Amino acid sequence: MRLIFAGTPEFAVPCLRAAAQKGEIVGVYTQPDRPAGRGRELAISPVKREALLRGFPVLQPENFKSKVSREALAALKPDLMIVVAYGLILPQSVLDIPTYGCWNVHASLLPRWRGAAPIQRAIEAGDRETGVCLMQMEKGLDTGPVLLSAKLAIGDNETGGQLHDRLAELGAEVLGDGLGLARAELFPRPWVQPEQGVTYAHKLDKAEARLDWNQPATALANKVRAFNPWPMADALIAGERVRVHGATALAQAHGAAPGTVLRAGRDGIDIACGEGVLRIRVLQRDGGKAITAADYLNGRRDLLAVS
């Protein structure tokens, strides 16, 4: 099969590798190079880097609004277009170009968590299970019929970054299975997503990362896990703003005001929440690196007096 691959971040790279094993990659679409880092130098996407290593032709249009960009895609005569975290919503005029349309690999069990940040939103909501869906794309946002899916349990202490990596590999497996069936002309039979159970995974915002001590400790612990490694939760601890890398919720009753440091020791710093207690285990001071609570307390001897 003549395949077009469209993707941008690291999450899409395993799927590009899987597609390359199952068909002929005639073109790789990815977002244009963007300024990044302190020097604001142009940086290429992980998908572009992988495509160049493999010698695949790379195309980077800003969008598909122009007739020229659509004609360039049609000239490749694709049988199928595979879209994985590309970063653009494709118009119907593009979805109609490949012979068998466009497939999307989405990191959730649809219809739950349609949208931009399904991995982080699943952890933030306290979900115990997630997965990957291979979907036939249509005009709506992640509304198309599902071709194949696979489930994955979310670990109790799993971070957004850790779950991202596991789902990226699972997505590649599901895509490989789908392409294997298609190559044998045994296309997966789609099932329409139910209307019940639809939720949306809105894009992450740095403003969300600040911990509100009035919330329950379980909600804050989930947010800490979900937002690691980006945008990373931050909190005010006894007057100092820090980034929180690791924390645990304790079902502990207290009569203190939210935000009060209840206890500080080598195993963590316990903060009173609206319900329960959040024990901060790993944190980062401004301009520093991630350290354990024990190391942090070496520079905050005032907190050791708290009992």
Question: Which residue ranges are tagged as binding site for (6S)-5,6,7,8-tetrahydrofolate?
Answer: 108-111
* Structure tokens given for 48: 């572009």
Please give the full DSSP string across 187-245, using - where no structure is assigned. Answer: PPPPBPPPSTT--EEPPP-GGGGB--TTSBHHHHHHHHHHTTTTT-EEEEETTEEEEEE
Question: Where does residue 226 rank: exposed (0-12), middle (13-18), buried (19+ CB within 10 A)?
Answer: buried
Q: Is 256 helix (H, G, I), strand (E, B) or coil?
A: coil
Give the separation between CA 258 and CA 261, rounded to whole angstroms: 9
Contact in structure between 162 and 155 (CB atoms under 8 Å): yes
Please give the full DSSP string across 281-292, using - where no structure is assigned. Answer: EEEE-TTS-EEE
Q: Residue 231, preceding bond cis, omega within 30 degrees?
A: yes
Tell me how many degrees the CA angle 133-117-218 measures, rounded to the nearest 5.
105
Annotated binding site: 108-111
User: Beta-strand (E) ranges in the chain?
Assistant: 2-7, 24-29, 34-36, 41-43, 58-59, 80-84, 102-106, 114-115, 129-136, 146-153, 200-201, 233-237, 240-250, 261-265, 268-272, 277-284, 290-292
Contact in structure between 36 and 43 (CB atoms under 8 Å): yes
Phi first, then psi: give them for residue 72, nearest 5 degrees. -65, -40
Contacts of 207 (CB under 8 A, 6+ apart): none
